[in-house]
Amino acid sequence: MAASGFEGFEKRLELHFFGDDPASGLSLSHHGLRLLDSGSLEDVLHAVQCTIVSAVGNQYFDSYVLSESSLFIYPTKIIIKTCGTTQLLKSVRPLIVLARTLGLSLGSCRYTRGSFIFPEAQPFPHTSFKDEVVYLEESLPSSLCFRKASIMHSKVGSHSWHVFTACDATAEMAVRPVPDDLFTIEVCMTELDRAQARKFFQSPGRVGKFTGDSAGRAMTALTGIDQINPAALICDFAFEPCGYSMNGIDGDRYSTIHVTPEDGFSYASYECVGSVYDDLNDVIRVLRKVGQIFRPGTMSVSITCPSADSWTWVARALEPLGLKRRSCNMDEFPEAGTVVFQTFTMTTARRETLDEGIDPHEDVKQLGCAPWY
Amino acid sequence: MGSILSSFLGGSSGEGSSESARVQAFHSSAEWQSHLNSLKESPKLMVIDFAASWCGPCKLMEPLVHKLADEYADVSFAKIDVDELRDAAQEFKVQAMPTFVLMKGGKEVDRVIGAKKDELEKKIVEYRATS
């Protein structure tokens, strides 16, 4: 592992809003947060220290590729995911203020992240999970009275999952335009296969001749990222001299991939929305394709609001690739519901992370609803 | 890094009118059809900007489109609001916004989907030159 480098692990924030007057709020909520003007949005991102590099929208939501990850704006929901040394939580207060100008109030908040590869490089309030939680507690209105913070550990020391959620009980009904049948999948991958990671470097002759847009498109096709969900419209971008980001939009669902390909701190993330009504084979195929593209040494998968058996198919998707499940952890959170956090490591001999001391069947026996460390 | 959209916003995003002299907005089907017909025989490159008033990426791209229109005076720029001219949006199969359709001699030669400033400019330069 390098002594220092770019932090690929993202911080993710999801905010749900509701209109003051549900009856008349309908026309406002129809577009809601999408009506925020570009200048105000830019100011918020400036506070976080990232900028917009590409964007596209459809009838359901707007998506933005940022200099350090992604932003999705639905009428009553905002999702921001940023990496590097961005100060993501500084967007909370300004977003609450901006939403109020549209007559929208905050109903719930969800903050998640993995473990930083370079934690000492993080600025306040991301200096520790405790600092982040305190900062969030102070930034959220007291109406969000149901709160919980927890670190979900795993048998892989470098991958833990940090979760904080808060919600307002009375607004909960109005706030859930997203029905319980949707779930979010957040995948974090480290120690990427070197040959695969190389595809995310712009070749020296190309830099300057090609722009971020077209170089991004080339990487999407070369790596097969466009095959993960062929129906999605992809908004991609390649950074100089390396690095890649994409947002996929498919109806009202987003997907997003971010890659830091440098050896020593390589990282890639994949996130998407699934439904309990989806054909499970499709979801398995998607996750397997992601594993095939990056062939990571370690992969962690967090699923929020899953269906009863949602964690079982993840292992089914990944084991044929040589990714063995090392741990599974479950916990319940306000608004978010159940969060299932699983870690996998590559078992092939050429992987340095192989730990032959772990009995691969031990985890399966211990699975249950109680979190364990 | 490639060009950053936000660096162009400066103070201009607040300026009132969304219609500049060089970007012609169309508000009726008849007006639009007649304009399309008039350019059918023309070797001029036309860029059609399909946008929606409630779509953030469209608002972001707007000042950049005006800049491109000012810079490339030999290219015709048209703007269509997908709510106002639903038929035109459907005819051109617009599913995401903004969508920029490049037309020459009455035929679509290419399109750019999304607020992709560099890609749009690259294609304008490419197609305005060829005849």
Query: What residue segments make up the domains of chain B, in order of their start?
Result: 19-129
Distance from CA of B41 to the nearest CA of A (A): 31
Tell me the C-alpha distance between A224 and A216, whole Å.
Answer: 12
| Overall domain count for chain A | 1
What is the C-alpha radius of gyration for chain B, rounded to an integer number of angstroms? 14
Extract the annotated binding site of A. 6, 68, 239, 262
Its pTM stands at 0.88
Q: In chain A, whose CA is at the least distance from the CA of B121?
A: A211
Three-state secondary-structure class, residue A308 = coil
Domain that holds residue A110: 11-354
Is A52 within 8 Å of chain B by CB?
A: yes
The answer to whether position A361 is within a domain reads no
Tokens 């929305």 label which residue? Answer: A273
CB contacts < 8 A, A to B, total 100
Of A62, A238, A249, the CB nearest to B56: A62
- ipTM (interface predicted TM): 0.86
Three-state secondary-structure class, residue B114 = coil
Q: CATH no. for residue A280?
A: 3.60.90.10
What is the C-alpha radius of gyration for chain A, rounded to an integer number of angstroms? 20
Is A237 within 8 Å of chain B by CB?
A: yes
The answer to whether position A373 is within a domain reads no
CA-based diameter of chain B, in Å?
Answer: 44
Alpha-helix residue ranges (DSSP H) falling in chain A: 25-31, 38-48, 92-101, 129-139, 172-175, 194-198, 212-223, 280-294, 312-318, 362-366
The tens place of each residue's pLDDT in chain A, 373 residues long, gives 667 889 999 999 999 998 866 554 444 558 999 999 889 999 999 999 999 999 999 999 999 999 988 999 999 999 999 999 999 999 999 999 999 999 999 999 999 999 999 999 999 999 999 999 999 999 999 999 999 999 999 988 889 999 999 999 764 454 444 456 788 999 999 999 999 999 999 887 665 656 788 889 999 999 999 999 999 999 999 998 999 999 999 999 999 999 999 999 999 999 999 888 888 888 899 999 999 999 999 999 999 976 656 678 899 999 999 999 999 999 999 888 889 999 999 987 534 433 333 333 333 333 332 322 2
CA distances from A93 to A89, A109, A139, A230 (A): 8, 12, 6, 37
CA distances from B33 to A41, B26, B91, B125 (A): 36, 10, 12, 26
The answer to whether position A252 is within a domain reads yes
For residue A22, whether the previous peptide bond is cis, meaning omega lies within 30 degrees of 0, is no
CATH number for domain B19-129, candidates 3.40.30.10, 3.50.30.60, 3.40.920.10, 1.10.3720.10:
3.40.30.10
The answer to whether position A372 is within a domain reads no
